[in-house]
Chains A and B, each alone.
Chain A
Amino acid sequence: MTGQANAGRPNQLLRNLNSKIASIPMILTAVVIFFGGTLWTVFYSFTNSKLLPRLSFVGFDQYERLWAAPRWVISIQNLAVYGIFSLIFSLVIGFVLAALMDQKIRFENTFRTIFLYPFALSFIVTGLVWQWILNPEFGVQSVVRSLGWTSFSFDPLYNSDIVIYGILIAALWQGTGLVMCLMLAGLRGIDEDIWKAARVDGIPMWKTYLLIIIPMMRPVFITTLVIIASGIVRVYDLVVAQTSGGPGIASEVPAKYVYDYMFQAQNLGQGFAASTMMLITVAIIIVPWAYLEFGGRKRG
């Protein structure tokens, strides 16, 4: 397609002018916001900006302060716990559901609609519903107690040791449908002959899945992994709605730290440093993936 665009040859700049004009919004977004904005934030994270951004450099001061702050450390720990469990459970539940859906079942559409509808809901709605279900006075805990098990205790949202798992339950409810859909698409992409061959060789079904199908679905798994992971780093609305970071600071997450310092505590420098740390986290996930995905293959 590039051929005919390069066919005429008057002025370099005027060539394909309409296309360039039409691409101005994209160019501005890419260069000014995505590239420039990111650099700007990283740059200003080395200043001691408070209410307004100012250019007085303090080196790594903000980062030292950041890692000395208990709230940030808790945020990172929460993100790690939430992230690891969220990855494992999303992949396992998503894959198992997809494998079940792939058994040529009836009512497939109905089941898919049910598994996926939470994904259409916002994190705010998700957080508020689960806040209500996990309410110790009226929710699951009180229902189990009223059935006779009076010592039953399940109040994740009011117990700072396990609050992050309460958020995890809600997040899994919202997001596993998507993972299921992606996995199902992957399973449908597997050649029927593989299954036939495995059946002829007498390999049990679970073994076929574990040793043949899953290794074959590596690209799907990696893509899903990246999608889940970049969602995890961003988790914000869910926590705001479900616990507002409480009890105390037990369920704080990095994205919330950034928002609070930028727009409420008027400590921009801290906000910039924290958001730069988020950027680094994402880069650690994305760069190896992008390298694997696009590094070997020639693009375009």
Chain B
Amino acid sequence: MADTTALNARLAPGPQGKKPRPILAPRNIMLYGALIFAAVYYLLPLYVMVVTSLKGMPEIRLGNIFSPPVEITFEPWVKAWSTACTGLNCDGLSRGFWNSVRITIPSTIVSIAIASINGYALANWRFKGADLFFTILIVGAFIPYQVMIYPIVIVLRELGLYGSLTGLIIVHTIFGMPILTLLFRNYFASLPEELFKAARIDGAGFWMIYFKIMLPMALPIFVVAMILQITGIWNDFLFGVVFTRPEYYPMTVQLNNIVNSVQGVKEYNVNMAATILTGAVPLIVYFISGRLFVRGIAAGAVKG
């Protein structure tokens, strides 16, 4: 106990030489009490999800949702993954999972590739009018999607891409562009100007500088952008419903269809297993990326 207090005082960057407080001071009890209370509230839904998904239906009907499972069963998970029904077809969430993978990977790559080049052009190769377009782009980030959905439907229909995966990838690229471009523009603008000048003097052109100098230096920001895009695209629901045909529905849409389908007996354990499965990918990304995620959302918060 004693050495932790000392450690605490040593680590604290603030005013030095203050009288060290005992760990059980009323202030600390209040402080940690409040934090732990809040933490329990935030953790409760995750706990309920896991616990429910491991119970059998009879146990759910009898017990309360907070009690741990008496008899652990993984059957709901298997069912949610492979046999749960959405309307007509009964192949579970697996189809939605693979659709989401097929949507998320290319969308992430394409949107980041385009936005990083945009950001690079805006930071280092400004042309007349570039700022105007960029301003429109940033203001556009605040326009509700509903306003722009139908015009995009028409454009995609004209291109023959409406309902296809390619169409959805384009949509994700469009709506990811404001925040990603901002992210990359600010990052490239913060790099020392001399680097760029030196490369110019050595005769390197637009693409050469991008691929040989900027790209290797921007790896951290690429990771931030990837976190942002993977979680954002995986969690998308609206674009998935609007821009794809049912056979390409992403996991979120399929999850909603499974849980909120009206026919049949409600199987809460299967529903919760399905919910965890859908939330698993962004959660894993979140827990692995840690601080980078915080950086990503601080930058990406504009996206709403």
Contacts and interface: CB of A to CB of B under 8 A. Distances in A.
A41 B272 CA distance: 39
B152 A37 contact: yes
B118 A23 contact: yes
Contact of B144 (A15, A182, A233): A233
A1 B42 contact: no
Contacts of A26: 114, 118, 121, 133-134, 137, 177, 181
**Which one of B52, B134, B279 has the greatest number of beta carbons of chain A within 10 Å?**
B279
Interface string A106-132: 100101111111111111110011111
Given A16-B127, A240-B237, A278-B146, A139 B65 contact: yes
Nearest to A42: B147
Given A27-B133, A30-B133, A31-B133, A279 B147 contact: yes
A23 B121 contact: yes
A269 B260 CA distance: 29
A56 interface: no
A133 B137 contact: no
Given A117-B46, A227-B301, A279 B287 contact: no
Given A100-B34, A279-B144, A33 B151 contact: yes
A68 interface: no
Given A104-B12, A192-B14, A121 B279 contact: yes
A153 B9 CA distance: 48
Contacts of A2: 126
B278 A125 contact: yes
B51 to A, nearest CB: 11
Contact of B60 (A18, A115, A138): A138
A120 B255 contact: no
A129 B286 contact: no
A25 interface: yes
Contacts of A244: 260
A196 B31 CA distance: 21
A255 B144 contact: yes
A258 B259 CA distance: 23
Interface string B180-212: 010000000100010011001000011100000
Nearest to A121: B279
Interface residues of A, number: 101
Interface in B250-300: 252, 255-256, 259-260, 268, 271-272, 275, 278-279, 282-283, 285-287, 290, 293-294, 297-298
**Which one of A132, A278, A300 has the greatest number of beta carbons of chain B within 10 Å?**
A132
B193 A1 contact: yes
B118 A124 contact: no
A95 interface: no
Instruction: Name the prevailing secondary structure of the A interface residues.
Output: helix
A208 interface: no
B48 A132 contact: yes
Interface residues of B, number: 101
B97 interface: no
Given A1-B123, A116-B294, A282 B237 contact: no
Contacts of A237: 237-238, 252
A178 B38 CA distance: 14
A220 B50 CA distance: 36
A210 interface: no
Contacts of A300: 131
A132 B272 contact: yes
Contacts of A139: 65
B85 interface: no
B32 interface: yes
B146 A258 contact: yes
A122 B65 contact: no
A127 to B, nearest CB: 8
B42 A114 contact: yes
28 contacts: A19-B121, A19-B127, A20-B127, A23-B130, A26-B137, A30-B136, A30-B140, A33-B140, A33-B152, A33-B174, A37-B148, A104-B8, A114-B39, A115-B42, A116-B297, A122-B234, A125-B255, A125-B279, A132-B268, A181-B294, A182-B301, A230-B304, A240-B256, A241-B260, A262-B149, A263-B242, A275-B147, A278-B147
Interface of B: 4, 8, 12, 14-15, 31-32, 34-35, 38-39, 41-46, 48-49, 52, 60-61, 64-66, 114, 117-118, 120-127, 130-131, 133-134, 136-137, 139-140, 142-152, 154-155, 173-174, 177, 181, 189, 193, 196-197, 200, 205-207, 231, 234-238, 241-242, 252, 255-256, 259-260, 268, 271-272, 275, 278-279, 282-283, 285-287, 290, 293-294, 297-298, 301-302, 304
Nearest 6 pairs of A and B residues by beta carbon: A34-B140, A122-B235, A19-B125, A37-B151, A18-B206, A120-B286
